[in-house]
Chains A and B, each alone.
Chain A
Amino acid sequence: MMLELRDVSVARGGVPVLDGVGLVLGPGEAMVLRGPNGSGKTTLLRAVSGLQPVLAGEVSGAERVAYSGHADGLKANLSVAENLAFWAAAFGTRGIEAAMEAYALAPLSDRWAGNLSAGQKRRLGLARMLVTGRPVWVLDEPTVSLDAASVALFAAAVRGHLGAGGAALIATHIDLGLSEARVLDVAAHRAMAPLPGSDEAFL
């Protein structure tokens, strides 16, 4: 077992959005989160990564998670290689060549991250997951602004990660071609609206 959620409830801005979410990811397993905008996918992923507390329930395995959110965490005034090398050092791993190779970033190695296109930045942000050395990838809309070829690179990287015994939890709207991935529709776990007259948010 890599990551387990038991009966997790999460809130955003004091409003409960998801209730009773449970899932188990083992080695080599991937799960795709689906749900309409505002259904709480990002909130759930942040809770899984330990960035925000859960309202109820339990998350085990948060320390194995590498998180990738909407922002890529890139410094415009550092080169592609410097950005990646920093994250490798921060996670205590070494060697960025494999990650550069996996996302075809080698030709951009000396370019400043600020001069990259949106898709190239995203590729660099995703390459960061490879240098973290963490077994569970938690990805929030990873394919935004990627073209078809880059989506294929991403799918190949995820498949390689799963093949090496990793796990992935991905919130996405598009089909990644990961046929083995299970799908969890968070709309089924929408939290009940608080009863009228309840002023819990003000307490």
Chain B
Amino acid sequence: MRALLWRDLRLAVRAGGGFGLGLAFFLIVTVLVPFAVGPQTGRLASIAPGILWLGALLACLLSLDRIFALDFEDGSLDLLATAPLPLEGVVAVKALAHWFTTGLPLVAAAPALGVLLSLPGPGFFWLFLSLLIGTPALSVIGAFGAALTVGLKRGGLLMSLLVLPLYVPTLIFGAEAARRGAEGLAVETPLMLLGGISAGALALLPFASAAVLRVSLR
């Protein structure tokens, strides 16, 4: 398991591994938004939490199809399925590697990019915390979508369509927590619901993804 995590992380940071793709996309979105909506601080501040959450979600979506497609193409997935590792564990580790290479950099970068959108002072911590709690759900749900479409050529479009509705609850509660934090309101309820979504996704979806992968490998 640890070997698989190391291998995925190493592959991600080596040439052509796709590390930084999501981060670059996130950066581009947040840099361009002030140009598109105008520089009024009040308007930017009110939309900043939502824009940052949406940017992080789309950046996450961008790199999802790499989770299984590359391993499927070069035959590694067949070999992993015959290895003594449980397939559920393989899925969980690969989702974790995706979170380390995509979700975690987004969480770290979001407060810095919040400055560009004049996010109000109290919002920085809550944005950071809500992303930290919510992005694991994005990776695990995304791994499920990637597992569903792994056998399809150019399955990226279908995967986006399948995954986006599943992302909606995470986005609603994540952005709500960040918004309420920025406006100085109580954030407990959306944060708890966000944590619940993450915990539920982490607990259940690896099993669903592994079942789907077994069907895809036939």
Contacts and interface: CB of A to CB of B under 8 A. Distances in A.
Contacts of A91: 83-84
B84 A71 contact: no
Nearest to B76: A73
Interface stretch (B9-17, B103-111, B116-124): B9-17
A90 B4 contact: yes
Interface of B: 2-4, 7, 10-11, 14-17, 73-76, 78-85, 217-218
Given A52-B218, A53-B218, A90-B85, A77 B75 contact: no
A69 B82 CA distance: 11
State the majority secondary structure of interface residues on A. loop
18 contacts: A51-B81, A52-B217, A52-B218, A53-B218, A71-B75, A73-B74, A73-B79, A74-B74, A75-B74, A75-B76, A76-B74, A78-B14, A82-B10, A86-B4, A89-B2, A90-B84, A91-B83, A91-B84
Return the 4 tightest CB-CB contacts between A and B, nearest first. A71-B75, A89-B3, A73-B76, A73-B75
A50 B82 contact: yes
Interface-centre pick from B15, B16, B74 (highest chain A CB count, 10 A):
B74
A72 B10 CA distance: 19
Given A49-B82, A78-B7, A85-B3, 17 more contacts: A46-B78, A51-B78, A65-B82, A67-B78, A67-B79, A69-B75, A71-B73, A71-B74, A73-B75, A77-B10, A77-B16, A77-B17, A78-B11, A89-B3, A90-B3, A90-B4, A90-B84
